[in-house]
Amino acid sequence: MEKIAIYPGSFDPVTNGHLDIIERGLKIFDRIIITILENPAKELLFTVGERIELLKQALEDYSNIEIDSYDGLLVDYAWKRNAHAILRGMRAVSDFEYEFQMALMNRRLNREIQTVFLMTGLRWIFTSSSIIKEAAKFGGNIESMVPPVVQKKLEQKFNQSLGDNDPG
């Protein structure tokens, strides 16, 4: 039986930290369905369509990846997609409480769906989409933190060059 995991998130935008979790997750699972959860309460920079396109471009070399969006209960989506796991990345202890609560709720809703946590690689532990957007907005060099397609799209959004302000 194929081992399928759902990797949910807002991916606004996708970062190299996300890609690290995906690459390591593919060593555990046969296929990963990256799912953009639609959350109207969250203020986002990119539309769902833009985020799907950025993910497709950043992951074009992977044949065992699928990209989708969903706006209901994650465990229901996982069940419909024949996935038996939810893949989550954690950067620091601050992520733990929220992720633990979500995993417990998901387990209560469907005991067949397991949550698998991967610790973010040390290189990406400080990286978050929010911090990257803020740095990009003010012209910070984010080149090593996001795929090139994301850097280019952020430059377009903020109408500036983001790789030229390296103080070092």
Better pLDDT: 81 or 160 = 81
Cα separation, 123 vs 9, in Å, equals 20
Q: Is residue 164 over pLDDT 80? A: no
Q: Is residue 168 over pLDDT 70? A: no
Q: Residue 28 falls within a domain, yes or no?
A: yes
Q: Residue 95 falls within a domain, yes or no?
A: yes
**Catalytic member of 27, 42, 108, 111:** 42
Q: Residue 133 falls within a domain, yes or no?
A: no
Structure letter (DSSP) for residue 124? G
How many structural domains compose the chain? 1
User: Does residue 107 carry a catalytic annotation?
Assistant: no
β-sheet with 4-9: strand ranges across: 65-70, 31-37, 4-9, 85-90, 114-119
In this structure, what CATH number is given to the domain that contains residue 13?
Answer: 3.40.50.620
Range of the domain at 56: 4-126
**Catalytic member of 31, 84, 88, 129:** 129
Q: Residue 8 falls within a domain, yes or no?
A: yes
Q: Is residue 41 over pLDDT 80? A: no
User: Does residue 18 carry a catalytic annotation?
Assistant: yes
User: Does residue 42 carry a catalytic annotation?
Assistant: yes
